[in-house]
Chains A and B, each alone.
Chain A
Amino acid sequence: MAYTEIIVIDLSTRLVLERRARFRRFEDEGIIINQQTAEALVVSDVATRLLELSNGSLTLRDCAAALSEEFDAPAPAIESDVVRFAQELVDAGIVSIA
């Protein structure tokens, strides 16, 4: 029987860009290239900032706090969105848990 690993993301998770993913900021947006799948993903300014903060040392809670301050948005809303987006990125093989 084959097993699929389920990775659960929460606010204590620290993320880093996957080894085969490439990321660049283009002013207020970002481009992620997944070299494994040869796909490009364009992400918004907030998501771009989150990827910049995902250096393996900050938790998602730290990232959410920084985003909340930088983008003048309520922390609770940011936190849930950050976790959801991080889960998407992990599932897409773009970031991994540090």
Chain B
Amino acid sequence: MSFDDLIGRSWDENRLVSVLVELTYRCNLDCVFCYNDLSLRGRQMRFNDYAVLLDDLAAMNVLNVTLSGGEPLAHPDFFRIGARARELGFVVRVKSNGHTLHGEVARRLRDEVDPFIVETSLHGATAATHERQTRVAGSFARLIANIGEMTSLGLRVKVNSTLTIWNESEARGMFELCDQLGVPLIFDLVVTPRDDGDRAPLALAASAEGICGCRRRGTRRRAKPPPPRGPSRRMPLPCRRSTAARARRVSQSILMATFIRVLPGGAPPGTCTRRG
């Protein structure tokens, strides 16, 4: 059975593969179109709470845990939680705005959490556009420098961007910028309402022309061609049924095939969102 088949079967059997853990809604940026419901109240889950959650997920054989936010590094126990996830054998992804990921913080992320990938957010090809959306002066230059530093440390970095009316004319420049940085860029073409139903972010939605133009050019670009796939290998051990073992590149979308979302204030069943 191939990796795709196995993930597909997990989907069919409603087996949990990936979990998105929103550690906190605190953030050091102030993005105009952020979808998080910042009015949510509740007790901040701490390390011990997350340790129990991660133990349970490991017992369920969940493969992938994404640490997100808000800005996940703003959680006071981020490194302990990330290290625990690593110890438990999860494939850890970190979704961060990248603003603090330099120097000792970046090194600790690599050494203590060992993420499969760090996903950061770029909002424009110029400081003016990027910072118009993040509303933090200097955030563009800092992100570009931090991406360079992370890749030089050996961290695998991917850049996400939401196409908006403000940055749609810079899509080509953003691809060029990411090419220079040697990291892939993926556009999300949809601006969504906030989780509390507030539709204000939709005012920034990209125009039809902007979306069509981005679609024409492609919404994603790899940093460089992927290495050739490994040959199919047959497992030499005697099996009850024949099974080929195939090496293949891990697709991010596949890893996210079946997942739930855990909110930072604790997630009663009603707030666990299952997404396909």
Cβ-defined contact, B238 with A42, below 8 A? no
- Docked complex Cα distance between A88 and B3 (Å): 19
Q: Which residues of A have CB within 8 Å of B116?
A: 22, 33, 35, 38
Bound: A33/B93 CA distance, A: 13
B249 with A38: CB separation less than 8 A: yes
Q: How far is the CB of B251 from chain A (nearest CB, A)?
A: 9
**Chain B: which residue is nearest A20 at the CB level?**
B114
**In the assembled complex, A71 has its CB within 8 A of some CB on chain B:** yes
CB neighbours of A26 from chain B (8 A): 6, 9-10, 15, 61
> B91 near A: Cβ within 8 Å?
yes
**A 80-96 binary contact with B (CB < 8 Å = 1; else 0):** 01101100100010000
Beyond A19-B114, A25-B61, A31-B63, is A50–B247 a contact (Cβ under 8 Å)?
A: no
B114 and A37 within 8 A (CB): no
Whether the Cβ atoms of B114 and A41 lie closer than 8 Å is no
* B271 contacts A by Cβ under 8 Å: no
Specify the main secondary structure of chain B where it touches its partner: loop
User: Interface digits, B94-120 against A, CB 8 Å rule (1 contact, 0 not)?
Assistant: 000000000000000000001010000
**Nearest CB in chain B to that of A33: its residue:** B91
Residue contact B246 to A42, C-beta cutoff 8 Å: yes
Residues of B within 8 A of A10 (CB): none
A44 to B249, CA, bound (A): 19
* A29, CB-defined interface residue at 8 Å: yes
Chain A, Cβ-Cβ closest to B61 = A24
15 A-B pairs (CB sep. < 8 Å): A22-B116, A24-B61, A24-B63, A31-B63, A37-B227, A38-B116, A39-B248, A41-B3, A44-B239, A45-B239, A46-B235, A46-B237, A47-B235, A47-B245, A85-B237
Q: Chain B: residues with CB nearer than 8 A to chain A?
A: 1-3, 6, 9-10, 15, 61-63, 89-91, 114, 116, 156, 227, 230, 233, 235-241, 243, 245-250
